[in-house]
Chains A and B, each alone.
Chain A
Amino acid sequence: MTRIAVRAVTGRDILAGKSDGMRDFPRILDVVEQTAPGETIVFDWDGIEIATASYFGATLAALLRMAMSGELDRYFIVTNLNRTCLDELKLVLEYQGLVMLLGDSKGGHIRKVQVLGTLESPYAATLEAVQKLVSASATELHHGQHGGAVIGKTGWINRLSNLHRLRLIRKERVGREYKFHALS
């Protein structure tokens, strides 16, 4: 897990508008690309007074779309956003149909991870099950029937694969099947 301090990377505390976003995107991407593939990046927004939806759209949402398309093998968590920044991030995630994890960063560790954006309840329940178990395969979830749902193994595979596509859980091949891991 690598923490990136947005204030340090951008050198500013007000990040607003698409123009600022387009200016900062290459810098942020450069820092992200310096981490190992498969890494979880924690974007720390401590010290950022204002960040608007357009700014998030041109930076975080763009990174997330790159990760979802397979262009960038990283996972993302955001932390330490003030109320205004959080509202603006939610705005852009809702409109673009994206989801992202928000972590509570007390004591330097990420805990109490929650989803920003809209995640349908079966997926939310599956994510919760993986987070509870820390890591799980479709077979394990099928046998345990976590999240209160009674579905077939294929159903679990589909849910887990989709959560991985959304970059909310990581995927690792173990023998003949995949194991899915919580990000925090």
Chain B
Amino acid sequence: MGKSVVQIRDIEHFHWQLSESECPLTFSSNGGGISLAAAVELSLIASHRRAHTSEPHAKIRVAKNSIWALIKESGWPLRPGCATLRDGDSTVLVLPTAHDDPWWTQRITMLLADLAANGFPSHLARGLTGAVIEMVDNIWLHSEAPHPGLLAYQIRRRKFAFSVIDVGVGMLASLRKSPSLRYLSSSMEAIGKAVEPGVSRFENGGGMGFPSLFHALTSLWGTARIRSGEAALILDHTGEERSKDSVYLPPLPGVHVSVRCALDAPSRSRQ
């Protein structure tokens, strides 16, 4: 792996190895950094392993990295109550359990101001903040998670990355609660359905969160990855043409939505 930054694909590969192994495995970043999405997913894999003691343990070594250190320090997902942890351009929020928390409102206002201060025009800063709120709201509406969700983000000049993650029932189980969506039989199908406009387990409307997210990203360069259960959907807009890809993965609880976007084309803005 050298000293390059560990990306989400590396974590997916490690997760496959771990799921097929009968003995404890070690993950090492080999002194290199780790991307936000990779760090968040790795933390979920680790906590999932810890919760299932019958499965082989994963030993994780990540070189000094702010986002990884913040996630570890947060104690998520077992930490009760909300928390803000910041280090430089990285922020980790252990989310409240209800949407109507004044603490949350203050954090949103902070995020909006940070985006504007880092070169995002006001309409894009608002759109991205709205998209983050939509993803977090999905946790409160659908996850049924026994533990709070987590929002992690990094803001650099004209660049923004965020991850929203929970340890709830996942998209398949949530959508299947709707009689009209009971036919869904795989995580892959569920993710594909969930991102469609107007699709929700609620009969009386809803399902506009992902359209809002995609709309916010329309004029930006970047990628969005939606991972739930045993699958992930990756939307890539780092080139002139948009592309969509999906992968099967070992099972994980909940949903992990990660986005990395920039105002400038990747050749000038590679993180």
Contact = CB atoms under 8 A, between A and B. Distances in A.
Interface of A: 12, 14, 16-20, 23, 49-54, 57-58, 61-62, 82-85, 87-88, 91-92, 95-96
Contacts of B215: 53, 87-88, 91
B237 to A, nearest CB: 18
Contact of A57 (B123, B126, B206): B206
Nearest to B196: A95
Interface in B85-134: 99-100, 105, 108-109, 112, 122-123, 126-127, 129-131, 133-134
A12 B102 CA distance: 11
Contacts of A62: 205
Nearest to B99: A19
Nearest to A87: B215
B212 A54 contact: yes
A50 B205 contact: no
Given A52-B212, A54-B134, A14 B108 contact: yes
B198 A54 contact: no
B127 A84 contact: yes
A51 B140 CA distance: 18
A12 B109 CA distance: 11
Contact of A17 (B134, B198, B202): B134
Given A58-B206, A95-B208, 14 more contacts: A16-B130, A16-B134, A17-B137, A18-B137, A18-B208, A20-B99, A23-B100, A54-B212, A58-B205, A82-B123, A84-B122, A84-B127, A88-B215, A91-B197
A14 B133 contact: yes
Given A20-B99, A57-B205, A95-B211, A52 B123 contact: no
Contacts of B141: 17-19
B168 interface: no
* 4 tightest A-B CB contacts, nearest first: A17-B137, A53-B208, A16-B133, A19-B99
Contacts of A12: 105
Contacts of B211: 53, 91, 95
25 contacts: A14-B109, A14-B112, A14-B129, A16-B129, A16-B130, A17-B99, A17-B134, A17-B141, A50-B126, A50-B133, A52-B130, A52-B208, A52-B209, A52-B212, A53-B212, A54-B137, A54-B208, A58-B205, A84-B122, A88-B130, A91-B197, A91-B211, A92-B208, A95-B197, A96-B198
How many residues of B sit at the interface, in one of the four size bands?
Answer: 20 to 34
A91 B127 CA distance: 12
Given A88-B215, A96-B198, A52 B134 contact: yes
Nearest to A20: B99
A84 B126 contact: yes
Contacts of B129: 14, 16, 50
A82 B136 CA distance: 23
A111 to B, nearest CB: 24
Given A18-B141, A61-B205, A95 B198 contact: yes
Contacts of B105: 12, 14
Nearest to A90: B215
A49 to B, nearest CB: 6
Nearest to A62: B205
A18 B198 contact: no
A18 B198 CA distance: 12
A84 B130 contact: yes
